[in-house]
Chain A
């Protein structure tokens, strides 16, 4: 395998249109779950092939089989006409199959450069060659048009930036077949555009791309063909020109959705929370109020200080200046505990780092915030523990064999539902949802928005953070735009258009010469 920028992409060995990889009856069973029922599908050389489907439909499983991360139960994979065993990731990479996985699987403590060459450090990149490695990596990153430093530790980058590094890493390995599993979930628009440019360029160089996403507009923007998975079965494949949004959704969930963004307007009640000139790490001088019955949306780029602002409200971080008022009274929120006691709930941004106990059962994760309520003095009521967990599993349609399955065994979107679900039974007055629908399928999104309405109608208020403009735009009664730690604009429901809001969120970046938006 090569690792220099010059030899970035190998010349394609197949002319476009020929089949490069074929699945014949590919099947995967996990204990308790038939994740992929025999699937037949052929991928053409240098096409962009989108795969869509509900949470838990088997998309990531398919990718794991193709990249040798998991062994298949039965079936064949034909690579360039010959059966491939794909028993190890190494074998897949040797063939030229690479993937950017849904969850970043790189070493957070190593530098960006070290991650780029992980597993194939050339002897030239021995201890004395650190600098050469960084230089090499920087060259590749610049060449791809990503504006990122190669010498920093990976963990210091945002999740979106890490995802870009993962993509860059996948391109340096002589790739012929590259899979992206929900790559844009954590990307800002600018980053997503950079990624799309990269994808188109790779396609032009003859690489076959598999693109998994829950965002239909991306599928229509990028893909040549699209395949739909439902319950582990391939429902169909369409040329992108011959299908539309509604048809795909229908194929995915076997029913149609009239309206994803379910929105009810309630008359706002009393003010629940007020932030007065609040400052802290990552944000400055932010003032806003949240009233009962309203959704306050915070839009901005990732890293604009929205998460820092809400975690400070929630007592996770210290404020450096300003005041928090709860129901009209000034309060000190020194810990999460204080916040929860006041009546706040926070569903955090990163499900892996902040949201879930991955190696514990789904039920325990769901009940974690309410154990106090479902124990009488000393003991937990095991009946209540069961009913509470099962209720959330049913309400949010979390796909799991039982509540005793480990959270790590769920698909990405279903894990996300736990992060939200654990607060729904808590009875808080102010819910803070930080990127609540990342990786969640359309059907469930609609379900979650309906739950938001239910919370509002019970007199709760919601702070909704999203980097996905349509979501906050359609749902927020009040929309605040953040840029670089400052609240730069405020709009009412639909009082500004997308263009204006985007400009406000990006403004400074735009002025940078040569910067892409």
Chain B
């Protein structure tokens, strides 16, 4: 065909960027509206608070996105966060140096992710099932380990971290950058990133093209587990306790952030910046609704409606191209 360069089709990447910009615009718009609507929104205190709230879901959403791109889902991340708070709390209270305690906790996250990979690749379980199983059993294991109590962490330095800022920006938000940049490079500029997409698009074709599909799946779930354990460490630092029932429902927020950020639950479509923006849009809505004294029940409804609207318009435009 005559292939005139009509810009609409140079797209894919342009389209991603465009969608990212739209999300960013939406976020800014929300901030402007809220600043006008309630004086307390724009206060330094509240903004820091909002960034802290959003940061943890944002990191979870990045890991979740890797998994969703392969066509899977990780329902366990909330439970992993809660479990990780327990592990890190116990280790620190047992006198393990903070650095080592964190490292061990992260390795536990990796182990959980590897287990998911094993269940999917070796046992042939659907991702939904194996991660759902982990979701309930991890909470149970955590409760057994703590006898159902919270463990308060006796280490001020550890807690100080999440409360302090660097260059006026909360440390927790710096952590998003710390995770986001390597994640971006990994997903968009390394061959493993390409493999995540190709496996999500057509595992058989990838396999025949020499892609190690099993390793790719292990990798996605391992990274998701790692992100979740990392968030667990951050949460423990923020609330100063280890408690296996923390982070209830965070897996759904992470999935919602990812989907708002343009990830397709059918796999093979997604980015790193999308879920990050998605997480902060969700955090802003919750934060704004709190400030405006909107009933907490309504907040949930608004979040649900927002997911439908954004994903609907995203789908419309994808089809429209």
Number of residues on chain B facing chain A (CB within 8 A): 34
In the complex, chain B residues 200-240 whose Cβ is within 8 Å of any chain A Cβ: 201-202, 204-212
Q: How far is the CA of A225 from the CA of B208 in the complex (A)?
A: 42
Chain B residues near A372: list those with CB within 8 A. Answer: 191
Residue A232 at the chain B interface, CB threshold 8 Å: yes
CB pair A32 B3 closer than 8 Å: yes
Chain B residues near A236: list those with CB within 8 A. Answer: none
User: Among B5, B197, B209, which residue has the most Cβ atoms of chain A within 10 A?
Assistant: B209
CB pair A31 B190 closer than 8 Å: no
Contact of A32 among B8, B189, B206, B207 (CB under 8 A): B8
Instruction: List 8 A-B pairs, minimum CB-CB distance, nearest first.
Output: A32-B9, A357-B201, A371-B191, A31-B8, A368-B209, A340-B210, A404-B12, A31-B9
CB pair B191 A336 closer than 8 Å: no
A400 and B190 contact, Cβ closer than 8 Å, known pairs A336-B207, A355-B205, A357-B198: no
CB pair B209 A379 closer than 8 Å: no
Q: How far is the CB of B212 from chain A (nearest CB, A)?
A: 6
Chain B residues near A33: list those with CB within 8 A. Answer: 1-4, 9
Residue B122 at the chain A interface, CB threshold 8 Å: no
CB pair B3 A400 closer than 8 Å: yes
Residue of A with least CB distance to B6: A32
12 new A-B contacts, CB < 8 A, other than A316-B208, A401-B3, are A34-B1, A232-B1, A232-B2, A354-B204, A356-B202, A357-B201, A358-B202, A368-B194, A368-B209, A371-B194, A375-B191, A402-B10
User: Among B2, B195, B205, which residue has the most Cβ atoms of chain A within 10 A?
Assistant: B205
Q: How far is the CA of A363 from the CA of B1 in the complex (A)?
A: 18
Residue of B with least CB distance to A385: B194
In the complex, chain A residues 363-388 whose Cβ is within 8 Å of any chain B Cβ: 364, 367-369, 371-372, 375, 378-380, 382
Chain A residues near B212: list those with CB within 8 A. Answer: 337
Residue of A with least CB distance to B268: A359
A-B contact pairs, 28 of them (CB 8 A): A32-B4, A32-B10, A33-B2, A57-B1, A231-B1, A316-B207, A336-B208, A354-B204, A354-B208, A357-B202, A357-B268, A358-B202, A359-B268, A359-B269, A360-B197, A360-B198, A361-B12, A368-B198, A369-B209, A371-B191, A380-B189, A380-B190, A380-B191, A382-B189, A399-B3, A401-B6, A402-B5, A422-B209
CB pair A368 B1 closer than 8 Å: no
CB pair B2 A406 closer than 8 Å: no
Q: How far is the CB of B33 from chain A (nearest CB, A)?
A: 34
Fill in one digit per residue for B242-273: 1 if any A CB lies within 8 Å of its CB, else 0: 00000000000000000000000000110000
Residue of A with least CB distance to B321: A31
Inter-chain CB contacts under 8 Å: number: 116
A368 and B211 contact, Cβ closer than 8 Å, known pairs A232-B2, A379-B185, A404-B11: yes
CB pair A336 B9 closer than 8 Å: no
CB pair A379 B197 closer than 8 Å: no
Chain B residues near A405: list those with CB within 8 A. Answer: 9, 12
Q: How far is the CA of A402 from the CA of B15 in the complex (A)?
A: 14
Fill in one digit per residue for B95-130: 1 if any A CB lies within 8 Å of its CB, else 0: 000000000000000000000000000000000000
In the complex, chain A residues 188-207 whose Cβ is within 8 Å of any chain B Cβ: none
Q: How far is the CA of A359 from the CA of B190 in the complex (A)?
A: 19
Residue A346 at the chain B interface, CB threshold 8 Å: yes
Number of residues on chain A facing chain B (CB within 8 A): 46
Residue of B with least CB distance to A360: B201
Q: How far is the CB of B101 from chain A (nearest CB, A)?
A: 29
In the complex, chain A residues 174-194 whose Cβ is within 8 Å of any chain B Cβ: none
Chain A residues near B3: list those with CB within 8 A. Answer: 32-33, 399-401
A364 and B197 contact, Cβ closer than 8 Å, known pairs A380-B190, A404-B12: yes
Chain A residues near B6: list those with CB within 8 A. Answer: 31-32, 401
Q: How far is the CA of A367 from the CA of B207 in the complex (A)?
A: 14
Residues of A within 8 A of B (CB): 30-35, 56-58, 231-232, 314, 316, 336-337, 340, 346, 348, 353-361, 364, 367-369, 371-372, 375, 378-380, 382, 399-402, 404-406, 422
Q: How far is the CA of A69 from the CA of B8 in the complex (A)?
A: 22
CB pair A378 B209 closer than 8 Å: no
Chain B residues near A31: list those with CB within 8 A. Answer: 6, 8-9, 11, 321
Residue of A with least CB distance to B189: A379
Chain A residues near B1: list those with CB within 8 A. Answer: 33-35, 56-58, 231-232, 399
Chain B residues near A34: list those with CB within 8 A. Answer: 1-2, 4
A231 and B2 contact, Cβ closer than 8 Å, known pairs A356-B205, A382-B189: yes
Residue of A with least CB distance to B188: A380
Chain A residues near B8: list those with CB within 8 A. Answer: 31-32
Q: How far is the CB of A407 from chain B (nearest CB, A)?
A: 9
Q: How far is the CA of A336 from the CA of B6 in the complex (A)?
A: 40
Chain A residues near B268: list those with CB within 8 A. Answer: 357, 359-360
Q: How far is the CB of B136 from chain A (nearest CB, A)?
A: 31
CB pair B190 A378 closer than 8 Å: yes
Q: How far is the CB of B208 from chain A (nearest CB, A)?
A: 6
Chain A residues near B202: list those with CB within 8 A. Answer: 353, 356-358
Q: How far is the CB of A438 from chain B (nearest CB, A)?
A: 16
Chain B residues near A355: list those with CB within 8 A. Answer: 205, 208
Residue of B with least CB distance to A344: B210
Contact of A357 among B10, B13, B205 (CB under 8 A): B205
Q: How far is the CA of A22 from the CA of B131 in the complex (A)?
A: 57
Q: How far is the CA of A357 from the CA of B268 in the complex (A)?
A: 9
Chain B residues near A32: list those with CB within 8 A. Answer: 3-6, 8-10
Q: How far is the CA of A378 from the CA of B184 in the complex (A)?
A: 13
Chain B residues near A316: list those with CB within 8 A. Answer: 207-208
User: Among B4, B13, B198, B210, which residue has the most Cβ atoms of chain A within 10 A?
Assistant: B210
A404 and B208 contact, Cβ closer than 8 Å, known pairs A359-B201, A359-B268: no
Chain A residues near B190: list those with CB within 8 A. Answer: 375, 378-380
In the complex, chain B residues 170-192 whose Cβ is within 8 Å of any chain A Cβ: 185, 189-191
Q: How far is the CB of A415 from chain B (nearest CB, A)?
A: 11
Fill in one digit per residue for B1-42: 1 if any A CB lies within 8 Å of its CB, else 0: 111111011111100000000000000000000000000000
Chain B residues near A364: list those with CB within 8 A. Answer: 194, 197-198
Q: How far is the CA of A401 from the CA of B13 in the complex (A)?
A: 14
CB pair A354 B205 closer than 8 Å: yes
CB pair B204 A380 closer than 8 Å: no
Residue of A with least CB distance to B320: A31
